């Protein structure tokens, strides 16, 4: 491998998080063993975190991984602030809160982090499993794109500089919020992959080209016969898109 290609892949590894959507620690460790050093970031969601707590996070950190803790905190401001302080002690790097929790909750979340380097907060705007009819069921007549923009501005004014959105909205958010915004895009599906329960999806190349800072990929990697090979293919797409 040339030095230039090696450097581009190293940069790409900081832009990909693999979702450990498994139910327990043995399953997570087995998957991580199969991934090896292919990736840097691992996303731990509610199912796995509630089953294993901080012990698994400590084990993954010991192996050299950076942790994206996806708890989508959404509660009264004081409770969310306390949850953030607790996760900060675990040393996680990224942590999600729901932008729909409102400005008071978002400000309390930002204040709980304060001047610490981590966790970096990500405000979840509209889940990638939600489309316009489902938003309408919730009493929101606007399109997903309009609702994402509204919630992102709310989070931004509350002091949060990271957002989670689908690839369909990332161009607008990048244009609205500028280069400082850290935009994380789930619902990533390589060409030919099943969409599963995702509604608003994109390929890795298209999401990066549209302005995403980081991509989150789950089943296309974790359910692949060769997870490391599947992750490497996505990293190549990220590197190629970044170079354009």
Instruction: Provide the annotated active-site residues.
Output: 72
62: β partners: none
- Would strands 66-73 and 182-185 be described as parallel, antiparallel, or unpaired? unpaired
C-alpha 111/C-alpha 175 separation (Å) is 26
- List all residues 6 or more positions away from 234 whose beta carbon is below 8 Å from its beta carbon: 16, 188, 190, 204, 215, 217, 220, 221
Angle at 204 between CA 200 and CA 210, to 5 degrees: 75
Residue 148's H or E segment, with its range, is helix 144-157
- Would strands 16-19 and 214-217 be described as parallel, antiparallel, or unpaired? parallel
189: β partners: none
Contact 96, 73 (CB under 8 A): yes
Longest dimension (CA), the chain: 54
C-alpha 49/C-alpha 69 separation (Å) is 8
Angle, helices 25-35 vs 54-62, to 10°: value is 20
Structure token digits, residue 138: 């919730």
The end-to-end CA distance of the chain, in Å, is: 20
């Amino acid at each position: 491998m040339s030095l230039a290609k090696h450097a581009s892949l190293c940069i790409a590894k900081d832009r990909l998080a693999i979702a450990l959507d498994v139910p327990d620690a043995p399953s997570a460790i087995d998957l991580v063993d199969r991934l090896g050093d292919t990736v840097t970031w691992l996303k731990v969601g509610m199912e796995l975190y509630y089953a294993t707590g901080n012990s698994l996070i400590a084990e993954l950190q010991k192996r050299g991984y950076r942790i994206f803790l996806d708890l989508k905190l959404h509660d009264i401001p004081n409770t969310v602030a306390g949850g953030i302080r607790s996760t900060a002690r675990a040393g996680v790097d990224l942590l999600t809160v729901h932008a729909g929790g409102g400005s008071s909750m978002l400000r309390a979340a930002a204040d709980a982090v304060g001047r610490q380097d981590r966790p970096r907060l990500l405000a979840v705007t509209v889940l990638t499993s939600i489309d316009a009819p489902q938003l309408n069921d919730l009493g929101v007549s606007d399109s997903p794109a309009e609702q994402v923009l509204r919630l992102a501005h709310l989070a931004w004014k509350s002091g949060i500089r990271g957002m989670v959105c689908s690839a369909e909205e990332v161009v607008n958010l990048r244009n609205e919020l500028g280069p400082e915004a850290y935009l994380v895009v789930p619902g990533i599906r390589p060409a030919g992959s099943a969409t599963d329960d995702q509604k608003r999806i994109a390929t890795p190349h298209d999401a990066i080209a549209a302005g995403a800072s980081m991509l989150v990929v789950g089943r296309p990697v974790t359910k692949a016969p060769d997870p490391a090979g599947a992750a490497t293919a996505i990293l190549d797409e990220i590197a190629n898109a970044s170079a354009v």
